[in-house]
Amino acid sequence: MPSSLHNPGKSIRGGVQDFLPRLVLSPTIALTLVFTYGFILFTTYLSFSNSGMLPSYDLVGWANYTRLFKLRAWSIATTNLLIFGVLYIGICAVLGLLLAILLDQRIRAEGFIRTVYLYPMALSFIVTGVAWKWILDPGIGLEAVMHDWGFTSFQFRWIKDRDMAIYTIVIAAVWQTSGFVMATFLAGLRGIDREMLHAAEVDGASTFALYRRIVIPQLRPAFLSAFVVLAHMAIKSYDLVIALTNGGPGISTEMPATFMYSYTFTRNQMGVGAASAEIMLLTIVAIIVPYLWSELRGNKQ
């Protein structure tokens, strides 16, 4: 009777032992209360205040938000996030699924290959940014190498191009995290009942049909959790942009995270910065809360 697993001996012990568990938990609760929830409230307050270089407590209503949505930098940042988010998640998912399926064909040296695909995940985005910054640099990177090899008409200068620079961030980010998506899908593939696949083969399903009709639909949970992780990473992405393009050329690769930082700490418009942080929070909550809700409700069974 699993329901009776709760409360082993609560209230029997009396005295200190009785509230010891709660006592142990209380520092975490206090820290969370203050530093997560309290701070969110504080930032929310600031987003309605006329804070500049320092926090101010004079409320100005929705002024920061209206200002925020009129700023060209913010509309660039949100457009960039949309482009980046869609491409990043889309390419990672397709690439991750492809690699997972290829790796699931009883590959020799699978362990080694998996290790190679996944190692970028252990690196800091700053390191990734530095590596790709110079690889994509026309002066010494890919373009220079191609010229060196005789392809003198080869041009690849996206990183210097206002319209294309955002795509270089996609390239580097995909390189870093597609291995993780591959691992998620691979775990999902391994969780599929082999007997069911044998049954489908006996039914005469081709390999293609097998994957399209039976395997891939069952990867829904893996896809969902990968989506949540990637969306979350995309919205928070700060380090990679800083290291790769530093928001440039100009402000062409500005993202909400870099926008928030520069408005708050270098441009001294803390109210606007706080408002942008609120928008980021709300976006993440809109993605995470339904996901968590379904996860936790599912776990109850």
Partner 1 sequence: MSTATRSNPWGRLALYLVLGLFCIYYLTPLYVMLINSFKPLGEITSGGMVALPQDWTSEPWQKAWSEAQVGVEATGLRPYFINSFLMVIPAVAITTILGALNGYVLTKWSFRGSTLIFGFILFGCFIPFQVVLIPMARTLGLLGLAGSVPGLVFVHVVYGISFSTLYFRNYYTSFPTELVRAAQIDGAGFFTIFWRIMLPSSGPIAVVCVIWLFTNIWNDFLFGASFSDFDSQPMTVALNNLVQSSTGVKEYNVHFAGAIIAALPTLLVYVVAGRFFVRGLMSGSVKG
Partner 2 sequence: MSFLDIENATKSYGAARVLNETNISVEEGEFLVLVGPSGCGKSTLLNMIAGLETVTSGEIRIRGKRMNEVKPAERNIAMVFQSYALYPNMTVRGNISFGMEMQGVPKPEREKKIAEVADLLQIKPFLDRKPGQLSGGQRQRVAMGRALTRDPDLFLFDEPLSNLDAKLRVDMRTEIKKLHQKLGTTIVYVTHDQIEALTLSTRIAVMFGGDVQQLGTPDEIYNNPVNMFVAGFMGSPSMNLLAATLRQGADGMEVELARPDASKVRLPFSAATTQADLSDMDGREVVFGIRPEALTDSEGATPASQAIHYADILVDVVEPAGSDTFVTVTLGGKDAIGRLRANAKAVAGKTFTFAFDMEKAMLFDPETQQRIA
Map the footprint of partner 1 across residues 47-106, applying CB under 8 A: 55, 99, 102-106
14 contact, one of partner 1, partner 2, none, CB 5-8 Å limit per kind:
partner 2
Q: Does 10 bind partner 2 (CB under 8 A)?
A: yes
Q: What is the DSSP string of 236-254?
A: H--HHHHHHTTT-STTTT-
Residue 270 makes contact with partner 1 by CB under 8 A: yes
For 1, other C-beta atoms within 10 Å of its C-beta total 4
How far apart CA 47 and CA 65 sit, in angstroms, is 8
Q: In the bound complex, what is the minimum distance in angstroms from residue 254's beta carbon to partner 1?
A: 14
**Could you say which of partner 1, partner 2, none residue 1 binds, taking C-beta under 5 to 8 angstroms by partner kind?**
partner 2
**What is the phi/psi pair of residue 124, to 5°?**
-75, 145
Token pair, residue 34, equals: 């203050």
Distance of closest approach, residue 247 Cβ to partner 1, in angstroms = 11
CB of 299 to partner 2, least distance (A): 19
Binding-residue pattern over the window 167 to 196 for partner 1, x denoting contact by CB under 8 A: --------x---xx--xx--x-x----x--
Residue 117 as a binder of partner 1 (CB under 8 A): the answer is: yes
Asked if residues 47 and 277 have their Cβ atoms less than 8 Å apart, the reply is: yes
Q: Which of residues 35-94 bind partner 2 (CB under 8 A)?
A: none
Q: How far apart are CA 135 and CA 182, in angstroms?
A: 24
Residue 3 touches which of partner 1, partner 2, none (Cβ within 5-8 Å per kind):
partner 2
12 binds partner 2 (CB under 8 A): yes
| 60 closest CA partner among 72, 46, 70, 77 | 46
Angle (CA) 89-68-232 rounded to 5° is 20
Give the footprint of partner 2 on this chain (CB under 8 A): 1, 3-4, 6-14
